[in-house]
Structure 1
Amino acid sequence: MNSVLEVEGITKLFRNHRGVKDVSFTASEGEVFGFIGPNGAGKTTVLKIITGLIRPDRGNVRIMGHDIAERFEQAVSHTGCIIETPEAYEYMSARDNLKLSARFYKDLPASRIDEVLEKVGLKPYGHERVRGFSLGMKQRLGLASALLSAPRLVLLDEPTNGLDIEGMADFRSTVRQLADQGITFLISSHLIHDLSLIADRVGVMREGHLISLGREDEWNGAGLSLEQYVTFKLLESKEGERDAQLIRQSAE
């Protein structure tokens, strides 16, 4: 399958010495790639680097073959994202919020607003004010905004936080349908069960490191749930770190 996103050795260390270190992975067309790890593992930092909100100390990111450091506009033109909380003007309707967002895109047809509202299941509510929306509807409106430019890659940071069971199910169904249409999703979350229902592949983050990459058939084939698989990888990483420390101490 065609590679939509290529991340090579990205590293970003902050003053508190936290950040991400030597993270590399790819995501293919129509793939739902789950980013899993504890809070503070570095998931959001990776997403911000991919979208150009943070400049890495080293490493490269390419979207549709365009390096974000050298051809930023071409790279992000293929990208939609919701990082942290999706924002909307609550006194405006869903349609008017999308019209406002559409001004950032050149030559975007007016029909695109109806198309994205239809895709996320909000077309019947397009003229309603956002203040009356449930949290799940607001999340879907954020996704509609991310889809306005017809992106090939969509990045979502903790998109199901705060959603009820029905909202989570609706969101998963929407993402899966869009992925089947060829859109690639990179979804950061610490809600393992939620990701297990839609992810084709997962990357497990711990303390700024990408410690494992696994496909759905790897944990299912081993008779494991995704939660068991991730727990095993996190424990394996900690044990490996302890072994390395013991080796260093014995050498000293």
Structure 2
Amino acid sequence: MRFLLIEDHEDLGRSVQERLMLEGHAVDLAQTLAQAREFQQAAVYDLVLLDIMLPDGDGRVFLTSQREAGNTTPVIVMTARAAISDRVGTLDMGADDYITKPFDYAELEARCRAILRRRGGVADTRHRHADLTFDPLAGTIEVNGETRELRSRELRLLEVFLGAPGRILSKDHLCDRLFSFSEPVSDNAIEVYVGRLRKKLAGSRLRIDTMRGLGYRLSGT
């Protein structure tokens, strides 16, 4: 998944970014609302983590403008304001969740997972695809009764393919879904992760086809 983190406190922002990237997410860190808007013009995000008090404006104004423009990307507001009225007001503006600073990183991660599950309309975290069972929360797939663990990038890559079965996905598109702007990406990075994922899918009907000059396609679903 690709997240947009809008936080002007550099140490906190970097810490949250690094923690979420360890989970395999691509995370772009914006320290101003202007920078956040620039990122939105260049990438599509699955989740926004939004601070309220920012150098160039109020995050709540940003949130309201996003909702008025029809942007339904889930938003978790992060702020030191703990009053009930602040929380209720922010949720009424269109936030999907609210977490008060200082917070525990494990709680933030859990809230991110919960929102993404709700957005997908999924109660049980396990998904059945052909003869494969995928549990993104546990980070595993089950093939012919054998449970296989996925590394973080493998898991995110599988999520991307399962979200677009039968479609040809270019290397640029896959890079955009797996890596943030700040991460160095080698020319063969996608080939490496596709190769690793293919090994994990071995024995199932699902396969990743190489479409020469175009990209990759998941078939067998």
Shared topology, TM-score over 0.5? no
TM-score by length of 2: 0.31
Higher relative contact order (CA 8 A, sep 6+): 1
TM-score by length of 1: 0.28
